Amino acid sequence: MPAAAQRLPTAETAMTRTIDAEYDRSVALLETLVNQNSGTLNLAGVAKVGERMRAELEPLGFTVSWKPMETVQRAGHLIAVHRGKPGTKRLLLIGHLDTVFEPNSPFQKFVRKGDLAEGPGAGDDKGGMVVMLAALRAMQAAGTLKAANIEIVLTGDEEKSGSPHSIARADLIAAGKRADVALDFEGLVIDAGRDMGSIARRSAIDWRITATGKTGHSSLIFGSEFGDGAINELTRILAAFRKELPEPNLTFNTGVIAGGARAAVDDSGNATAAGKTNIIPATAIATGDFRTLSPEQTARVKAKMEAIVAAHAPGTDATIRFGEGYPAMAPTDGNRALLAALNGVNRDLGLPEMPALDPLRRGAGDISFVAADVDSLAGLGPYSTGDHAPGETVDLASIRRQAKRAAILMSRLSAERSAR
């Protein structure tokens, strides 16, 4: 234990010791969770991971329920509530049961390699759930969990959310409105050798443009009767996006294009097109996404995109449709205060201060659905590399470091008076 950690109060010292003593238990649990496939569309597998988490949470005094999500073609969410001392801060802990690796993926098993381990979801987010549990067990052993008011929402479809979000994220949003603080247990980011604090996450919003034009012989293109054709109209729009949209913290991308006499792009991004070089194309379709740092930026960018699409080239038409997407988690003063509290824990543990992470380094996540209602901090899970791809690898040692931070932070926050 670092020398600076000797300044910790007795209960906090006990928490750090419990996390160290139960490290092998945490790794064993991670192996069990990883070896149960829970690809988002493997509804039975997601539910099985939920049952294992129920078995871990109920002995800690949580009342656990399962919220089915058949109406949005997803497995469901695990919701666990611990009632403590009235009038103290209510904490919302967020994680997810599912992974991107469906049963047909060749990447299925936990493989330990010393202080590292490979496996589907080893970091994202089964490692995060293990950190959460390790912290809660340490709080129970030290006596700080008894008075804590904590609600846990483990979604079953974070990697491929059900639609509409008004159903799929209703329970999470409601929990955010009840909470004083939201803590997200997705992965820690390390930049230039430094652990980073995540006080912001950008949105992720899909868009689809459909351009149409008058079809005819290619020799008639650009004339007054036939105009520019659908593909040139789509090209105009995308070129204008590149010129007119750029601003700080915004990225936008075109992922798939199809155009011709006939063209289609399905919901999975599979494109088909047919036409000839001597026919003016009647249809052109593009799909992509854009990412912003605040609701205000989202609204501004949408308006710009709509205006660009509406300025049609001669003889053409075009429409843009936006998907539901994930909202932004803006870097608020409340979020900065939470990072400052976490850095107080770091100082007492003898760990370096965690600077705020550049939001361009962090993708969208479930915590963004509550960030408009409650002070929020992300990245309390373990450090991992290669997420969402075969070979995803978790740094097992980071489980202990992150669990100690989380246990002490949650204990301190839980002792504060609620402002609600």
Backbone angles phi, psi at 373, to 5 degrees: -110, -15
pLDDT value at 3 more than 70: no
The pLDDT tens digits of the residues spanning 253-287 come to: 999 999 999 999 998 899 999 999 999 999 999 99
Beta strands in 156-282 (DSSP E): 181-184, 189-191, 194-196, 205-213, 251-260, 262-265, 271-274
pLDDT band at 202 (very low <50, low <70, confident <90, very high): very high
Identity of residue 361: R
pLDDT value at 5 more than 80: no
111-113, strands of its sheet edge to edge: 111-113, 116-118, 393-395, 384-385
As given in the structure block, the two tokens for residue 323 are 């998907």
Share of the chain above pLDDT 90, in %: 96
CATH-assigned architecture of domain 205-322: 2-Layer Sandwich (3.30)
For 128-132, what is the mean pLDDT?
98
The pLDDT tens digits of the residues spanning 51-60 come to: 999 999 999 9
Prior bond of 314 cis (ω within 30°)? no
Q: What is the pLDDT of residue 362?
A: 85
Topology given in CATH for the domain delimited by 3-201+328-414: Aminopeptidase (3.40.630)
- pTM for the predicted model, two decimal places: 0.92
Residue 130, CA distances (Å) to 35, 209, 287, 353 in order: 14, 42, 37, 23
- Domain boundary assignment for the chain: 3-201+328-414, 205-322
Q: H-helix or E-strand containing 64?
A: strand 63-69
Q: What is the pLDDT of residue 94?
A: 98
Prior bond of 125 cis (ω within 30°)? yes
Q: How far is CA 199 from the centre of its chain?
A: 13
Residue 418, CA distances (Å) to 64, 150, 374, 413 in order: 23, 13, 12, 9
